[in-house]
Structure 1
Amino acid sequence: MHIERKIPIAIERYLLNAALVVALGLLYAPLLMYWYDGWLEKSISIEHEYFSHGLIGLPFAAYITWTLRSQWSQLPNISHPAGAILLLIGGLCYGSGLSDLVNLSFPIVLAGLCLWLKGIPGLRVQKWPLIFVALATPTHLPYLIEPLAFPLQKFIASVAGFILVQFNLNVTVEQVYLFVNGQIVEVAPHCAGLKMLFTSLYVGLMLLYWTGIASDRTKSILFLLSAATISVVANIIRNTLLTLFHGTGQDGLFHWLHDSWGGDLYSALMLGLLVVLINWIQNNTANEPQAQTH
């Protein structure tokens, strides 16, 4: 009799899970396909390209959720009222027709489902996947941040000009403009390295989770600060090379590094440094004392 009672419960649970997956797929598969097409083909707005780290971040979030399926299934089926509220908000955002709200409805609905199905414990279990989904969701936030990047643009232009002067090039720097041999190069907001900074910090979070260092506050802060520094330095070097290529008439190299696969290769090499960095931090820094739990 015990087995006969258990089978319907199991079937009901799996049917519910399957129905939720199908519903989410029908609602958000077109949206996710639009994101991926925009990131891969660069047919999406420049601001949305800032979130292209979602190419690897969203599958990584799905992988984490899969690895946590045992913990998830062991949680009691309890609902938190905030889950219904988030689902309602997510539904309103999805139906608004406004691009940012439609996009944001995805992490909101996912968080709402966690609360509705498993309560606060469910939200805690799925904390990291939800973080990776939220940080990969395209919005116009970079558009609001770009005006604040002007000091960074000036700093990059100044440093790039200083480096080029050391190679006996005739360089003049005015604000965010570099003049080299009669050619002008602008360190535009999109060239200030914000996209690579976002990507570096996002990949840094992925590495922190993957290596288990995320639970160590000191190592995590050290790594993220170092990742940000590497990103800024790499962008200064890139802008210096672009100015050199353009100022010396090497247009082929300029376009290769600026808007061709050379830029992707440069970014990949820089991200590879983060792997080296986190391995070094993991092996050469002391562990943070863990608090006692009761």
Structure 2
Amino acid sequence: MSKRNIGNLYDPRQGDQAIRMESLRLPCKPTEPPRTNYFSIYFIESGSGSFWADASKFYLHPNSLLFFVPYQHIRFAPTRSVHGELIQFHANFLCVETFHAEVGCSGILFNDPYGAPVVTLDEHARSEVLGLVERIRNEQGREELAFGEVMLAYLKVLLILATRLKTPQAAACGPGLADLRHPVLAQLRDLIEANYQTLHSPADYAKRLHVTPKTLGRIVRDHLGTTPSDLIRNRILIHAKWQLLHTLKSVKEISREVGFSDELYFSRLFKKATGYSPTFFRDFETEIRGGSNLSMLSSHAPILRSGGASDS
């Protein structure tokens, strides 16, 4: 599998680093970063405008952190040029998918289909982030003894800081709780969590919420910048990616597990969302992770943090 076939994907066989950092400069024009299998943290120091995470629209503000998951489609539309820093890391460096018990950020910073992937920084938090960014940059540049372990430590601190800022009571709160300001949204989240594997139509959820599909669509668009269909689809994909990465279930079995009798339809949906087929996604990630990802037990892949449940 050659480099030209995998575009911007991290591949240690090609000498790629599992963590990388670079200065961020976005001009006042639409920009689409290439899809990557890194987790991405954008530190926005200055600039403004809009950005899209898949089909969800959000606003760019100075002094903020943005969080994106691997293979996600990202688009920026700055109205003022954006300056900052970009930190990217692969699961080989820090597996957010399974390391949530220590870092606590999966379902809060990453993999939350119900909330904005944004953390706003006050002056004190901005100063702390700047210090951590500078330390990570220095370690990356010097490559001294155990520099990888030191970078990992600083990255964990950054993620914990961001998690605390986004959900001050993260241990008791579900993902996106602070963003669900309309009572229907919390109910919708709970309904999707309970039914995403069997109910795929927004009309089914609108009926259970005693609102019209049009009203539900307006509430979701106004408060979350997306559509009910995209909320459901993103939740399905979180589950599917977990199963592909951490179990030996066939694509056909996973397709049926999330409510699609047509494996080809599921594969097209997956490829449209990630840029790659389910088979490539599993085979490539398993190969570059040395198979360690397949040691996990099969699970329902919940994102709502409760007890000792596995996160996605």
Which TM-score bucket, shorter chain as reference?
under 0.3
Structure number with higher strand proportion = 2
Rg (Cα) greater in structure? 1
If the length of structure 2 is used for normalisation, what is the TM-score?
Answer: 0.26
TM-score when scaled to structure 1?
0.27
